[in-house]
Amino acid sequence: MTQSPVVDLPKSVDVVNVGLPLFEQAVRDQGHAVIGVDWRIPAGGDTELVAALSRLSGPYAERVDAANAEVVRRLNEGVPLLVGVRTAGEAVPGMGGRTVLHSGPGITWDRMPDPLRRSVQATVVAEGWAPDVAAAAALVEAGEVELRPANEHRTVVPMATSIGPSAPVYEVRNEAAGLTTYSSLNQGSGQVPWFGVDSDEAIDRLRFVRDHLGPVLAEAVEAHGPVDVLALAAQGVPMGDDVHMRVQATTNLFLRDLLPYLVRSAHPSAADAATFLSANHLMFLNVAMAAAKSLTEWAGEVAESSIVTTMARNGTDYGIRLAGAGRDWFLAPSPPIQDALYYPGYGPETSAPDIGDSAVLELIGLGGPAAANSPAVAGFLGGRMADAIAATRSMQRICVGESPRFRLPILDNVGTPVGVDVRRVVESGVTPAVNTGIVHVSDGVGQVGAGVAWAPVECFAAALLDLDRRLAGGTRTAG
C-alpha cells in the first residue's frame, strides 16, 4: 500500500477512534477526550481499484516514484517568466480561422453549460463574426466556429472564459522546459463573459480588454522586461493570498512593479487601463495560471507518473490528465461547489457546477494547498484560520512533495503541498480542494458566490486504472 497520511499525534490521549465518526462522537458526548482518525476502506473497497493500487504501490512503485520525483522537481524548479502580451491569434499555436478556446476538457456545443455558451457567444460577437448573440449561437450551431479546449493549446483560462484570435494573452516562458504558455487577461468584475454574461456591456468589456488594456499592458511588460511570476506569488502567500481565490496582495505587487512604465506610457489608453487596473484585484490570477501551466506542461512530459498535471472543468465535465498519459483526459461530471458563500438571493439551486482551468494552480502548490495562510479563504470555510489549515492538511494527505518557494508562516513556514498523486487520492478518497468562484447556472447574471469545490474521485480512479494498464504494457484507455 502507499504511505499512510501524516497524522499529528498529541502527547497523551484517552481514546483513539479509527473510522466511523459515530463512535468518536459517542465518546465525546460522555465527556471523554477522543481523537478521531479519518480512516476509510482503501479505494472504497472496489476490488479492481484495490488490485491496481496494490501493483502501483508494490511492484510498480519504484518506477512510479522515480517518475514522480522528476515531476515534482519540474513543478518546483521551473522559473516561469512573463515575457509579453500578444493576441492569441499571433501567439497561441493552432488558433487559425474562427477558433475559440474555452476552459475545461473538449466539449461540443450541445453539451456546453449555459455560462460557457454565453461566454462563447460574447466572444463570437466581439470577434465580429456575428452581429449579436443569437446570430453567434446560430453560427456555432452551424459548425462555423471551431471550439477547442484551451488546455490543448498550452493555454489556461479561468471560470467560463473563452478567447478568440483577437483576444490578448499573457505569454509566459519556461526557459528550462523550452516552452511558452498562455492565459487570457482578467476581465474584472460585474458584467463579464468569464462569469457567463453575454450582455452588450459584457461584450464591450471584451473589446475594452482587446483594444485598450491589452496594448497598454503589452507596452508596460515590454518596458519592464521579464517578470518572475512565481517570485511575486511567493511574496503573496505570506500576505494572505492563496493566489487563486485571493490574489489581492500579488496583484498589487505586480502593479507596483509596472507602475513606472504605466506612468511613463504615452499610449492613449493608458489612463483608462490604469482606472481598470486600480479596480481589479484579480488581475494577477491569470498571470499565475499561465505560469502554473508552464510547469504542468513541462512536468506532463514525464512518463509513468501518478501525478496529476491537468485539472480543468468546462462546467459539464471535470477532467484530469496524468503526467506521461499524453492527451488522454479522464472525466467525471463537474460537481457543485460544496463550501460556499453566496451573494444575497442566490444559493446552490442557482449555481452552475464547477468550471474553469484555474485548478492548475492547485497542482503547483497554490489555491487549496496555500489555503492555510489565507484569511480570505478561511472566510469561505467557516471563518477561522483552523478551517483554512484543514484545507491545506487535506492536500498534504494526497500530495507527494512540498513547495520550496510557497511557504506558510502559520504552519512554521512549511512549504505548500505539491504533486497530487492519484494513488493517494484513490486510496484515501480525499480529492483536491479547489478554491473557486461560482456563476449563475442559467440566467447570465454572472458571479453569484465563491467557495471550495472538491474534485470528483471517479476521474482519479479512471486515471489510476489507466496508469496501471500502461505500466503492465496493456492498452491505453482514455476516460
| CA distance linking residue 342 with residue 449, whole number of Å | 4
**Contact between 265 and a second copy (CB under 8 A)?**
yes
Give Cα separations from 191 to 186, 195, 203 (angstroms): 13, 8, 9
Which CB atom, from 413 or from 477, has the smaller least distance to a second copy? 413
**Contact between 262 and a second copy (CB under 8 A)?**
yes
DSSP state of 317: E
**Contact between 355 and a second copy (CB under 8 A)?**
no
Q: φ and ψ at 179, to 5 degrees?
A: -140, 160
Which CB atom, from 1 or from 271, has the smaller least distance to a second copy? 271
Asked whether 436 and 452 are in contact (CB, 8 A), the reply is: yes
Q: Taking contact as CB under 8 A, which single stretch among the options 48-56, 170-178, 262-270, 329-337 is the one that binds a second copy?
A: 262-270
Q: How many of the chain's residues bind a second copy (CB under 8 A)? A: 34
Q: Taking contact as CB under 8 A, which single stretch among the options 46-54, 237-245, 348-356, 357-365 is the one that binds a second copy?
A: 237-245
Q: Taking contact as CB under 8 A, which single stretch among the options 98-106, 134-142, 269-277, 339-347 is the one that binds a second copy?
A: 269-277
Largest CA-CA distance found in the chain, in angstroms, rounded: 73
Q: What is the DSSP string of 145-210?
A: SEEEEGGGGTEE--TT-EE-TTSEEEEEEETTTTEEEEEEPP--SSS-GGGT--SHHHHHHHHHII
Q: Write down the least CB distance from residue 304 to a second copy, Å.
A: 39
382-401 residues near a second copy, rule: CB under 8 A: 383-385
273-292 residues near a second copy, rule: CB under 8 A: 273-275, 277-278
List all residues 6 or more positions away from 285 whose beta carbon is below 8 Å from its beta carbon.
158, 186, 243, 244, 247, 251, 358
Q: Write down the least CB distance from residue 404 to a second copy, Å.
A: 17
**Contact between 239 and a second copy (CB under 8 A)?**
yes
Q: Taking contact as CB under 8 A, which single stretch among the options 194-202, 272-280, 397-405, 422-430 is the one that binds a second copy?
A: 272-280
**Contact between 225 and a second copy (CB under 8 A)?**
no
* Helix 200-208 and helix 114-126, axial crossing angle in degrees, nearest 10: 60
| CA distance linking residue 317 with residue 295, whole number of Å | 23
Q: Write down the least CB distance from residue 28 to a second copy, Å.
A: 13
Spell out, one character per residue from 361 to 380, where the chain touches a second copy: x when CB under 8 A holds, - when not.
--------------xx-x--
407-436 residues near a second copy, rule: CB under 8 A: 409-410, 412-413
Question: Is the CA virtual torsion 52, 422, 149, 452 positive or negative?
Answer: positive
> Using CB under 8 A, which of 257, 301, 339, 458 touches a second copy?
257
Place of cell 498562455: 182
**Contact between 217 and a second copy (CB under 8 A)?**
no
Q: Taking contact as CB under 8 A, which single stretch among the options 60-68, 128-136, 157-165, 266-274 is the one that binds a second copy?
A: 266-274
> Using CB under 8 A, which of 54, 189, 199, 252 touches a second copy?
252
Q: Write down the least CB distance from residue 254 to a second copy, Å.
A: 10
> Using CB under 8 A, which of 16, 69, 138, 259 touches a second copy?
259
Q: Taking contact as CB under 8 A, which single stretch among the options 75-83, 160-168, 265-273, 289-297 is the one that binds a second copy?
A: 265-273
> Using CB under 8 A, which of 7, 13, 18, 263 touches a second copy?
263
Asked whether 128 and 74 are in contact (CB, 8 A), the reply is: no
- All 3 cell numbers of residue 465? 486504472
Q: What is the CA radius of gyration of the chain?
A: 22
With b for 16 or more beta-carbon neighbours within 10 A and e for fewer, the 22-50 pattern comes to: eebeebeeeeeebbbeeeeebbeeeeebb
137-196 residues near a second copy, rule: CB under 8 A: none
The enclosing H or E element of 401 equals strand 399-408
Q: Write down the least CB distance from residue 23 to a second copy, Å.
A: 21
Q: Write down the least CB distance from residue 257 to a second copy, Å.
A: 7
Which CB atom, from 138 or from 239, has the smaller least distance to a second copy? 239
Nearest C-alpha neighbor of 351 from the set 282, 454, 434, 443: 443
Which CB atom, from 378 or from 395, has the smaller least distance to a second copy? 378
Give Cα separations from 42 to 34, 265, 410 (angstroms): 23, 59, 31
DSSP state of 354: P
Where do contacts with a second copy occur on this chain (CB under 8 A)? 238-240, 248-249, 251-253, 255-257, 259-260, 262-265, 270-271, 273-275, 277-278, 375-376, 378, 383-385, 409-410, 412-413
